[in-house]
Amino acid sequence: MSFLASHNVDHVIEAIGWALDTVALDVERADVSSPRSLSLEEVIQHPRMEHERKSQEEYLQFVASLPDTLNSEGMRNVREHLQVRAETRDFVIEEFLEVERHKDLLRFSTAGSVDDGKSTLIGRLLYDSRNVYEDHIRSVTGPITAGQTQPAIDFAQLTDGLRAEREQGITIDVAYRYFSTQRRKFIIADTPGHEQYTRNMATGASTADLAIILIDARKGILTQSRRHAYIASLLGIRHLVAAINKMDLVDFSEDVYRKIETDFRELISSFGKANLVTIPVSALLGDNVVEPSINTPWYTGPTLLAHLENAPVGVEQVTKPFRLPIQRVIRPDQHYRGFAGQIAAGSIRKGDTIVALPSGRKSRVASITTFDGDLELAAAPQSIALTLEDELDISRGDIISEVAHPPQRATGIEASLVWFDATRLETHRPYLLKHGPQTVSARITRVLYRTNVESLQEEAVNTLGMNDIGVAEIEFTRPIFFDPYAEDRATGNFILIDLHTNATLAAGMIRRSLDTAATAAPHHKAALLSVNNAEQAATLEAALLAEHLPVVRTRVQSPAIWRALLGLGLLVILEGIPTESATAGLALHILEDLDPDAVSEFLQHLRDEGILPQNENQERQS
């Protein structure tokens, strides 16, 4: 019995689970003609069980040999027996936490029309993967009724926690559930199917890496199924699973499954690129949810859990340009100044050169601090605090980016909107736009169109109502720095907020900038520039205008007027150098040299001071 007593018994459990998932169907078929199958006791006493194995590969080879002599029921018995043996071992919390730390996390959401079985599917997934406490199971287990041999479990109530949800048998609010397997950790967002709760579905899916769209095999693709699939596409979810549910009610018909699969693939292809996997399931009976089903011999793909365990996650964000929206400046004492936030995209190393926006000032990373200590390298989605080699003026709402690929700057955007509120969209009405940690005043100047989710046609409208999906143009009072949503979900999303009630009105996905001279380069800082004479003022003004910078040239000697112009973000050129007392404490950049060539040197000085952005040649040299 040394095999069962091995400290590697967890590998045995995983190996048998793997074998059961991959060959159970073949075992069931083999049992039809097999004269006998080994009992659990015979398996335990089998000579192979006495061999102490030292590697996962040997375990897999061992388990792969079991189906020749063991039926599927016997394999389940072996796995349960080993699970009991594992649970009776000494539990070492440090080992458990270390294993959990190295598991990756997959966030996924469920969507689909009402009564397609979303909550039942999630309940069955949690139950069959042994992620539900026994007291919770008892609370949703009904009495034995006539014709039943065991109590019935209402799997939907494992996730539907609100009283109204239990009474009506529907999902209203987004229900988040956490569970894990030996391969991965998961966060589920069980979202509602009713049209009036579409905003809840969009909220739950906004952070998902994968979406499961449930389709009732009896009804096919409904309007709400189309709406949820379209919203999932808008939200940039690149991994979709079409779970064709209630296959037991159509006698596990392959024809029904294939027709829905073909129709749904055509629908998804019209939205854009997405990795689609279709799986026939019965959430109520558990077919192809965790264990393969003997009722679908024509289906050779993975079970739902097997696909969730192997779906790619988190790789794309790490390879994108570095983005760190600043949420807080940490200043515990005069020796430390850290800029804290969650990395939205990319990675950063100690010593890397960064640019702070909107100032455009550059520096190098001095340290990367986390809760667990300093790091040499950090990547999305870690929460960190950066310290820089130079003292830069950075505050909440600013963004730290890599120099080579900074985000775009815009005061106007074209964006897709999912309208949540019963109050209809009004053009030119002031709204608050929250983009990452910063909030700016905004107004919608024009609604371009609304998408008909049934026909996917674009309809000309001048407003949007609750649950409408459309495209609009939006202007802000001050610029934001962003990436198009198709390139980076983290820096390309925003919400619109009612200025008076603070209600969330819409979720937005930025499509492109509307600025005529939209540039990804860092922009200028408002400044007061003083030159000796009109000739120098004209030369300096022409040079700044050639770089598409906002300039005003004046002879007025009024600090109040200068301050107002600076408040508009302008570069103010003064003809003549005022006295220090006449500036009323305003910072003044002075060109004292009368040489005509001094203007170019003055411009370089302004770039070095961070007043002006670096030009392209200087960027390439740096």
Q: Check residue 564 and report its DSSP letter.
A: H
Q: How is domain 107-313 classified at the architecture level of CATH?
A: 3-Layer(aba) Sandwich (3.40)
Question: pLDDT at position 432, please?
Answer: 93
Question: pLDDT at position 582, please?
Answer: 65
Question: pLDDT at position 43, please?
Answer: 46
Question: pLDDT at position 11, please?
Answer: 47
**Given a cut of 70, is residue 516 above it in pLDDT?**
no
Beta strands across the sheet bearing 275-280: 175-180, 185-190, 105-112, 210-216, 239-245, 275-280
Question: pLDDT at position 125, please?
Answer: 86
Question: pLDDT at position 603, please?
Answer: 83
For the domain 527-621, what is the CATH code? 3.40.50
Question: pLDDT at position 359, please?
Answer: 86
Mean pLDDT of 452-477: 87
Count, residues in the chain: 622
Q: Which residues of 279-313 are buried (b: 16+ CB within 10 A; e: fewer)?
A: bbbbbbebbbbbbbbebbeebeebbbbbbbbebeb
- In 141-235, where do the E strands start and end? 175-180, 185-190, 210-216
Which H or E element spans position 128? helix 118-128
pLDDT band at 341 (very low <50, low <70, confident <90, very high): very high
pLDDT band at 467 (very low <50, low <70, confident <90, very high): confident
Question: pLDDT at position 54, please?
Answer: 37
Report helix angle 198-205 to 223-234, nearest 10: 40
- In 483-595, where do the E strands start and end? 493-497, 504-513, 527-531, 551-554, 571-575, 588-590
What's the pTM value of the predicted model, to 2 decimals?
0.63
For the domain 317-402, what is the CATH code? 2.40.30.10
Question: pLDDT at position 72, please?
Answer: 52
Residues 165-194: pLDDT tens digits?
Answer: 444 444 446 778 888 888 888 988 887 766
Residues 183-225: pLDDT tens digits?
Answer: 888 988 887 766 666 777 888 888 888 999 999 999 998 888 8
Question: pLDDT at position 241, please?
Answer: 93
Mean pLDDT of 106-125: 83
Residue 236 to residue 232: CA distance in whole angstroms: 7
Phi and psi at residue 144, to the nearest 5°:
-75, 125
**Given a cut of 70, is residue 517 above it in pLDDT?**
no
Q: Which residues of 116-134 are buried (b: 16+ CB within 10 A; e: fewer)?
A: bbbbbbbbbbbbbbeebee
Residues 405-460: pLDDT tens digits?
Answer: 899 999 999 999 999 888 999 988 899 999 988 899 999 998 999 988 777 788 88
Look at residue 159 and give its three-state secondary structure.
Answer: coil
Q: What is the mean pLDDT of the chain?
A: 77
Range of weakest confidence among 16-20, 86-90, 249-253: 16-20
Question: pLDDT at position 9, please?
Answer: 45
Q: Check residue 505 and report its DSSP letter.
A: E
Structure tokens belonging to residue 535: 């000739």
Mean pLDDT of 369-389: 90
Question: pLDDT at position 32, please?
Answer: 36
Mean pLDDT of 524-544: 81
Q: Is 158 exposed, middle or buried (0-12, 13-18, 19+ CB in 10 A)?
A: buried
Q: Greater confidence, 507 or 517?
A: 507
Match domain 408-513 to its CATH number in 3.40.50.10860, 1.10.1740.10, 3.40.50.12500, 2.40.30.10: 2.40.30.10
What residue type is assigned to position 507 of the chain?
A: A
Note whether 107-313 and 408-513 share their fold. no
Question: pLDDT at position 279, please?
Answer: 95
Residue 341 to residue 437: CA distance in whole angstroms: 9
For the chain, the C-alpha Rg in angstroms (whole number) is 31
Q: Is 516 exposed, middle or buried (0-12, 13-18, 19+ CB in 10 A)?
A: exposed
Strand partners, 329: 339
- Highest-confidence range of 4-18, 98-112, 314-328, 383-397, by mean pLDDT? 383-397
Give 11's contacts (C-beta < 8 A, 6+ positions apart): 56, 59
Domain ranges of the chain: 2-90, 107-313, 317-402, 408-513, 527-621
Distances (CA, A) of 394 to 142, 444, 544: 59, 29, 25
Residue 237 to residue 240: CA distance in whole angstroms: 7
**Given a cut of 80, is residue 512 above it in pLDDT?**
yes
Mean pLDDT of 107-115: 83
Q: Greater confidence, 386 or 156?
A: 386
Mean pLDDT of 12-16: 49
